[in-house]
Amino acid sequence: MLSILMVSCSQQITSTPPSTLTPEGEVAYESIRIDNDDPSWWDNAIFYEIWPRSFYDADGDGSGDFDGMTSKLPYLQELGVNGIWLTPVFEAPSYHGYDFQDFYSVESDYGTMEDFEEFVSAAHEHGIKVILDLVINHISDGHEWFQKSAAQEPGYEDYFIWKKEIPKHWGKAWADKEDNSQAVWHWNEQRGEFYYGAFGPTQPDVNLRNPKVVDEMNKLATFWLEKGVDGFRLDAVRYAIEDETVDGQDADQADTDATIIYWTQFSQHVKSINPGAMLVAEAWADMPTIGKYYDDGNGLDSAFDFDFGYVVSGILNAGGERSADFGTVKDGEEDNTRQALWANLKSRKATAPISFFSPFLTNHDQNRIMHTLGEDWSKAKLAATLLMTTPGTLYMYYGEEIGLSQYATGDDQYRRAIMQWEDNDAAGFNDTGEFWLDQSKWFPWIKEHKPWWEGYWQSQRANKNASVDAQAANPDSLLNHYKKLLQIRNDHVALQFPNEIRYYPVDNMNAWVVQNIKDEQKRLTLVNLNPEAEARFPVPKSLRGEYIDLLSGNKITLAEEFTLEAGQSLIL
């Protein structure tokens, strides 16, 4: 008799251990139902995160720029992405830009406002949306607001959070009840008081309990929406508004009720300007915490699913270190089996609509996936397949499609290295051989030490597969694997956002067998999670038949048993 586990949206999802076939040739499966009758444009989008300083340098000064990004839009269109997330492009004193000094000016290293506007317009002509990284939690201590507040100019006294004495029981906001007030309260000589800065003394937190500051942030969003951008990636949403210590208890510095309310109100303002604008939250936390920002459908549109990338890297590189620079991750032993992939889907479903969560492999605050996977091209292809066949708004970090890696761990710039366009001394980044990574204005210690770029690029070129040009010419390259995956996902609604996902826990634990169903369309994904050994498994009776593999174009027959080659992926 057919053994099936079916669940609706409102029912609890139960776990099924690996099961042998019944005499009728079937295996129990689990199912998730997904209701999304009125999808937004971003629900099926694939975004490409660009670190502008490293992407392409059109004027040769060592920093990537707007003109450079504009010139690469045909590449991104051919790749198949339909959205771009730009990390900060506002004027800032740092190389990374997360400490805005002027909300209404673009970073001069990247070009002019006219260059920016031309980039956004050109992106739209290529069918690509653009969202900007927006940091509302904190700004640069060089911003005029902070200077006026430190001088206690009328109207600016409370633009930031000031104390005459350091409060007790505070610490780094993303640490678990850390009692280290000196880490976040910083002395200002001019005012003679301490100010709160969760991310360091040069990045003071603004006071979002002050209605004037809230109005300023709304004006900021309006300004850029009217420039034509399609939404914002919201940095550090968890830390917007803190609660004071009470009765000697630790301060509540993350995910407060006031923080949730603030972002819901900000979202309402954004929608009043552009109902089609998209807001995605960086809430580096567990699923239940992230889900708070959905706020019963009244809050933000989406949030990054950090767990997905950890699950994929854990399965493909079991034992790899799990870390969070500006957030929290679960402690303890993790499940590094295929069951973790299904658990990730179930946790999304249990917390908020699956469409709320945006899976990705890595971003600019994490070690690159290629480095984590030990420079293994087979594992990188598996990671790509798992990403492109999971539901929701997807994000790629620039260079992931060519296996861009990093020279070492420890310094953030290793994760944010130059995009590799050509196999030459400058990696096709520019014609001058200038690189911001080796400029002493950003890294003063370079004057005394050998720049690291040369050794890094030589290490990347050693395998002769590092650049876009080299991989474009190789049909079996990671780049071409990504192109196929993106085309398949863009062409098949069952992979973008299915009505139902069925997971078949077949006997071989290396076999990931999932069927996506959207109305009459069905797509079956088979992945051998082991890049070093075959995976043979009994095929559920309902899945047997003749197929065409969308990745290779080959005819595939699923009989009573089937064998996946080492690291093989099929989309049928």
Q: What is the DSSP letter of 138?
A: B
Question: What dihedral do alpha carbons 300, 298, 289, 257 form, nearest 10°?
Answer: 110
Please tell me the predicted confidence (pLDDT) of residue 246: 62
Rounded distance, CA 255 to CA 70, Å? 37
Three-state DSSP class for residue 41: helix
Sign of the CA dihedral with 428 first, then 429, 434, and 436 last: negative
Question: How many CA within 13 A on the CB side of residue 552?
Answer: 11
Q: How far apart are CA 277 and CA 518, in angstroms?
A: 26
Rg for the chain (alpha carbons), in Å?
24
CATH of domain 41-135+283-400: 3.20.20.80
Question: CA dihedral in degrees (525, 44, 388, 3; nearest 10)?
Answer: -30
Cα separation, 357 vs 88, in Å, equals 22
Torsional sign, CA 271, 277, 283, 289: positive
Residue 282 annotated in active site: yes
Distance of CA 105 to the CA centre of its chain: 25
The whole-number pLDDT of residue 453 equals 67
Identity (one letter) of the amino acid at 103?
Answer: F
Q: Which two tokens mark 42?
A: 């971003």
Q: Which two tokens stand for residue 368?
A: 């690159």
Helix axes 478-491, 377-388, angle to 10 degrees: 10
Q: Which of 282, 301, 307, 401 is catalytic?
A: 282
* Per-residue buried b or exposed e for 543-562, using 16+ beta carbons within 10 Å of the residue's own CB: beeebebbbeeeeeebeeeb
Q: Which residue has the tokens 């510095």?
A: 253
Q: What is the pLDDT of residue 284?
A: 86
Q: CA 450, CA 468: separation in Å to the nearest integer?
A: 27
What's the rounded Cα separation, in Å, for the pair 205 and 22? 61
- What CATH architecture applies to the domain 144-196? Alpha-Beta Complex (3.90)
Q: Contact 198/173 with Cβ under 8 angstroms? A: yes
Which residues have a Cβ under 8 Å from the Cβ of 18 and sit 6 or more positions away?
A: 505, 506, 507, 509
Q: How far is CA 552 from the centre of its chain?
A: 28
- Could you give the CA distance from residue 529 to residue 511 in angstroms, rounded to a whole number? 6
Q: Give the C-alpha distances (Å, rounded to integers) separating 184 from 101, 168, 199, 256, 410.
A: 20, 11, 7, 18, 22
Name beta bridge partners: 479: none
Q: Show Cβ contacts of residue 33 under 8 Å, excluding neighbours closer than 6 positions.
A: 7, 8, 9, 499, 500
Between strands 555-558 and 545-548, the pairing is antiparallel
Residues 6+ apart with CB under 8 A from 311: 334, 340, 341, 343, 344
Q: For residue 109, how far is the Cα from the chain centroid?
A: 25
Residue among 380, 482, 395, 367 nearest 133 (CA): 395
Question: Which residues partner with 546 through β-bridges?
Answer: 557
The C-alpha atoms of residue 403 and residue 80 are separated, in whole angstroms, by 17
Only one residue has tokens 């051989």, namely 433
The burial of 297, by beta-carbon neighbours within 10 Å (0-12 exposed, 13-18 middle, 19 or more buried), is given as: exposed
Written as one string, the DSSP assignment of 107-146 is -GGG--HHHHHHHHHHHHHTT-EEEEEE--SB--TTSHHH
d(CA 317, CA 371): 11
Give residue 79's identity as a one-letter amino acid code. L
Return the structure tokens found at 390.
Answer: 């999971």
433: left (phi over 0), alpha (psi -120 to 50) or beta: left
**pTM of the complete model:** 0.92
Closest by Cα among 509, 507, 515 to 561: 507
Where exactly does CATH 3.90.400.10 map onto the chain? 144-196
Amino acid at 125: E
Q: Are 66 and 118 in contact (CB under 8 A)?
A: yes
Report the C-alpha gap between 83 and 48 in whole angstroms: 6
Are the C-beta atoms of residues 391 and 499 closer than 8 Å to each other?
A: no
- Taking the mean position of all CA atoms in its chain, how far away is CA 173? 21
Residue type, 565: E
Catalytic residue among 65, 67, 235, 400: 235
CA dist 384 and 398 (Å) reads: 13
Q: What is the DSSP string of 303-336?
A: EEEHHHHHHHHHHHTTT-----SSS----S----
Amino acid identity of residue 429, one-letter, is: F
**Mean pLDDT, 10 residues at a time, the chain of 572 residues:** 29 38 67 83 96 97 97 98 97 91 95 98 98 95 95 96 91 75 93 94 95 98 98 96 73 90 98 98 92 94 95 81 51 74 94 93 94 94 98 96 86 87 91 88 72 70 80 96 98 93 96 95 97 95 96 96 97 98
Task: Cite the residue boundaries of each domain of the chain with CATH code 3.20.20.80.
Answer: 41-135+283-400
Compute the distance between CA of residue 514 and CA of residue 526 in angstroms, rounded to an integer: 7
